[in-house]
Amino acid sequence: MSAPERPDVVVVGAGITGASIARHLAAAGASVVVLERGLPASGATGRSGGMVRAYDPDPAIAELALPSLAVYRDPANWASGRSPLRAVGSVTAADPALEPELRAEAAGITAARGGPAPGGAGPDAAGGVRLAGGIALVEPEAGWVDPAEVTADWLAQARALGASVREGTPVRAVTARGGRPVVHTDDGELRAGTVVAATGPWAADPVPGLRTAHPVRARSIQVSVVRRDPGAPPHATFVDLRTGRYAKPVGADRTLLGMPHLVWDCPFDAPADPAHERATTTALAAHLPWVALAAHVATTRATDAYGEPAHGPSGLLESTGVPHAWSVRGWNGGGVKTAPEAGRRIALACLSEARVA
């Protein structure tokens, strides 16, 4: 389908958040063009672990994560006709001093969604994961999604609703003309009612016209995949709030392992760090003892976008200095679990100003 000459909204970036925004805008009847420099989900989205759950220690993220999990669970929301959620359960470990807070959060999740209640566990193990002296909030209906699969489904829905998705089309600049943004690409100019950039770590070094008032920084992420032998027990997704360590099953016989890699302002294609790979395996053995002897399959390194909470519409968008051009906040590693609800709210914020007379 050819793009409209003056779309209501141009979405820059076809990762999971950009795809969600495009789908919600198209469903609301807006004319939408998505511009992606490479292939959809080829950036941070495609290298994300995709763990989703309702609980988050940041109340602003939790407010988005709870309804997002409901979207992931419901087959009716997906063009494929099936839910993308692998409901292996989620274990969030924390210091025992936080037990009252976690109990209150579990009660709030139950009240908001109904169904099986999140449980507590500790100090031994939960969901096949040792807690190493901590306690845990256990969400039986949470788990993980394949972010590339989700992105493809949302873009398929957006296209079916009339959106145009242009792959291999990098944006070179965004300027203003007549009080509205103009997007400059190698294929020419595209005038729009509103521009919303969902560029992930590339927001740290934006094209002219998309620089935000509050800086976004790129931070390294690195994960390893190991083979889970048949004798190793199955396990839920896992994150330890004390250390930032995390893990998730990948299919029937593999497990992804990760922990914070505090290297800032690094390129997306930086080589893997062997020392961090070894340290990650050693650290996760405290929670999944079998990984100490597990065969290594692969290590992947990328970057993610980190920044302050946004100060623009819905608390999710940052102004750029170009009228009606916005940038999505940096998700600090939480973009996948917030994408369904964040995309919906960002679309609503754009619709109020996007229509071009």
Stretch 242-261: mean pLDDT: 95
Share of the chain above pLDDT 70, in %: 93
- Say whether pLDDT at 355 is over 60: no
pLDDT exceeds cutoff 70 at 333: yes
Q: 17 and 343 in contact (C-beta within 8 Å)?
A: yes
- Would you list the DSSP string of 88-136? --EEEEE-GGGHHHHHHHHHHHHHHH-SSPPEEE-SSEETTEE-TT-EE
User: Can you give the pLDDT at residue 356?
Assistant: 44
What is the structure's pLDDT at 107? 87
Rounded mean pLDDT of 158-177? Answer: 97
Residue 200: per-residue pLDDT:
92
Cα–Cα separations (whole angstroms), residue 88 to 35, 37, 229, 249, 313: 34, 34, 18, 8, 35
Q: Which of 71-75, 161-165, 210-214 has the weakest average pLDDT?
A: 210-214
- The most distant pair of C-alpha atoms in the chain lies apart, rounded to whole Å, by 66
pLDDT digits (tens, 9 = 90+) for 287-313: 999 999 999 999 999 999 988 776 666
The pLDDT score that the predictor gives to residue 117 is 54
pLDDT at 357: 39
60 pLDDT band, cuts 50/70/90, is confident
Instruction: Please give the backbone phi and psi of residue 196, each rounded to the nearest 5 degrees, phi first.
Output: -130, 120
Amino acid at 138: V
pLDDT for the residue 83: 97
The pLDDT, as a whole number, for residue 114 is 64
Q: How far apart are CA 321 and CA 212, in angstroms?
A: 7
pLDDT value, residue 1: 44
Token pair of 152 as six digits: 């493809």
Confidence check: pLDDT of 331 > 90 = no
Q: How confident is the model at residue 151 (pLDDT cuts 50, 70, 90)?
A: very high
* pLDDT score of 116: 58
Give me the pLDDT at residue 120, please: 60
CB of 88 within 8 A of CB of 143? yes
Identity of the residue numbered 57: P
* Residue 228 binned pLDDT confidence (cut-offs 50, 70, 90): very high
**Gap between the Cα atoms of 182 and 193, Å rounded:** 9
The more confidently predicted of residues 45 and 121 is 45
What is the rounded (10 degree) CA torsion for 272, 276, 278, 280? -120
- pLDDT value, residue 219: 94
Q: pLDDT tier at 252 (50, 70, 90 boundaries)? A: confident
Q: What's the one-letter identity of residue 56?
A: D
> pTM to 2 decimals?
0.93
Give the full edge-to-edge strand order of the sheet including 188-191: 171-177, 180-185, 188-191
What pLDDT is stored for residue 115 in this prediction? 57
Residue 3: pLDDT above 80?
no
CB 69 within 8 A of CB 45: no
Give the pLDDT of residue 222. 96
- How far apart, in Å, are the Cα atoms of 145 and each of 80, 83, 99, 248? 14, 9, 28, 11
According to DSSP, the residues that pair with 160 across neighbouring strands are none
